[in-house]
Chain A
């Protein structure tokens, strides 16, 4: 038993170091090599890694697709907005806020803590009900959570400014911050999935009946994963908010749910490295196609703009990936690959 858990922790640490190194290379390229527009892409990519890994923590370990995680991002982002917008501007934008809230002006760490708190509260409330359901009903209920929170974001005008959206959030994220956040999220996610609670959740994913026969509570295993993943999504969402500085309810809805989940599915939802790879693939495809979306010209030929081509292309990539490799680009192979390499080195 003891040797097992040491080996598991060591392999988790190895995964984390490898991913940190890979993300470090991307971040270093962003800081030292790239110019300004490409730097934005690097920041966005690192933030996406945080979000996708946070979602993977639940979806990958439980095998239940969640459409509700953008509600965590939204809850976190609005909470961050309430505590970071400069006081004067806040008085103008949201005159009806209670006094104690109107006076708050938090920095980066305080804002992230508030974001985590907001998402955790939502996760605790929804976590009271959702994990009791079976696999597919729960997936469906997560969609209901998304719709419910979207209705609230879009209509609670005294706090969210409704469909107009909120603005004035300070830009506190640069490449080192985004890198640091991604690395921390990866660390927590990898540690959770190597922990006893994480293993219980994976056991439930593989075989519910066998897992409960071993004395594992299916409901509490799923609830723990939901809470950890919700809190992590809150952290990643706070970073997202502090980078985007202005947003509205539609940014926490269906389109972005699709984008984030597609990264997970393309990369392989069973492993954290899969999430990191998937985020990279989708980012590259989107960047390449963004020019097509806005229209461009080759010499005298004017190519008309084609709105939605990015989403369309990602959807097609997903269909192809799912048919060719239903488990995504990085299958469960990550661990066995690492083990094989280590075995070879030892010999």
Chain B
């Protein structure tokens, strides 16, 4: 539940927490994690927005790409078996760990 911690997104903690502690299956953990990220990102946007740290031009461009990507990714997930999702998530977690060590 240490979401948003140190500027790192919540999903990387939420997903393993839900599969490991709450025994949710991989597909549902990914979907539920995304739903929880919505209010977290909303709060963050308000805080950064009030400080004037949100450049809406960049949001529009990055957002256009990422919203399309999210639709593709969410639909694609249904075709990926749970073990493959775990492998992908594992690689992602190790990559982030490596970046954290190196920075």
**A and B co-occur in one complex:** no
